[in-house]
């Protein structure tokens, strides 16, 4: 006897992914809309307190996005683990370690710029993924999701690097995360950030190469696909 459609594992998997993508889309759309309205209402002053206005929701969305590593690991999301891990790690480190820990950095314009870039990418990506799960595809959306990251992702990495650069004086002054270890050893966190700064660009090259290959494969076959309803 055949199982009802709603009991089929694939149906439950797609339902879960659709809800997950929808939640992320709503969260990032709210952030982007809030930033846009605040900018037109308060001008440049809104950029200074961007983190105070939407930082909590941004941290929530980025924390939930760690589930995507589990999705890939268990096989319910068809992506490669390493590139996604690098992308998520970049954001978690910048958001929670660099920005959240230093109140002075939270007031920098680079925070607003980063949030704009992240949300532009995620709104398009989650819209594309959400519709793909239910079998709907649009040529324009597919092209946009596979192309928008090409100029924006490198700009994101540059903004992340600039955020690290601007945070270094505060980590040096306050000694945040710097600690002494036994046997006269110590961890000086600004040095750790400088090492990570170099690794950031190495990771960008790897991730960019992977995304470009993925884009080429998807756009190569997409014109032969028809819209599914």
Q: Which residues are catalytic?
A: 153, 160
CB 101 within 8 A of CB 192: no
Cα(first)–Cα(last) distance of the chain, in Å? Answer: 27
Buried b (16+ CB within 10 A) or exposed e, 37-64: ebbeeeeeebbebbbeebbeebbebbee
**What's the alpha-carbon Rg for the chain, to the nearest Å?**
20
Task: Show the tokens assigned to 58.
Answer: 């941004």
């Amino acid at each position: 006897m055949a199982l009802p459609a709603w009991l089929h594992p694939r149906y439950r998997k797609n339902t879960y992914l659709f809800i997950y993508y929808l939640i992320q889309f709503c969260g990032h759309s709210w952030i982007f809309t809030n930033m846009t309205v605040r900018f037109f209402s308060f001008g440049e002053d809104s950029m200074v307190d961007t983190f105070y206005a939407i930082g909590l929701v941004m941290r929530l969305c980025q924390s939930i996005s760690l589930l995507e590593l589990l999705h890939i690991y268990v096989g319910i999301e068809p992506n490669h683990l390493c590139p996604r891990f690098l992308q998520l790690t970049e954001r978690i480190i910048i958001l929670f370690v660099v920005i959240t820990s230093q109140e002075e950095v939270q007031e920098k314009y680079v925070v607003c710029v980063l949030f704009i870039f992240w949300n532009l990418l995620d709104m398009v990506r989650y819209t594309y993924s959400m519709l793909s799960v239910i079998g709907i595809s649009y040529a324009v959306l597919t092209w946009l999701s596979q192309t928008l990251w090409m100029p924006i992702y490198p700009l994101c990495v540059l903004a992340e690097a600039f955020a690290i650069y601007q945070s270094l004086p505060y980590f040096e002054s306050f000694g945040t995360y710097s600690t002494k270890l036994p046997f006269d050893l110590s961890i000086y966190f600004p040095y750790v950030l400088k090492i990570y700064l170099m690794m950031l660009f190495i990771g960008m090259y790897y991730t960019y190469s992977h995304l470009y290959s993925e884009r080429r494969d998807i756009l190569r076959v997409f014109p032969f696909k028809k819209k599914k309803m």
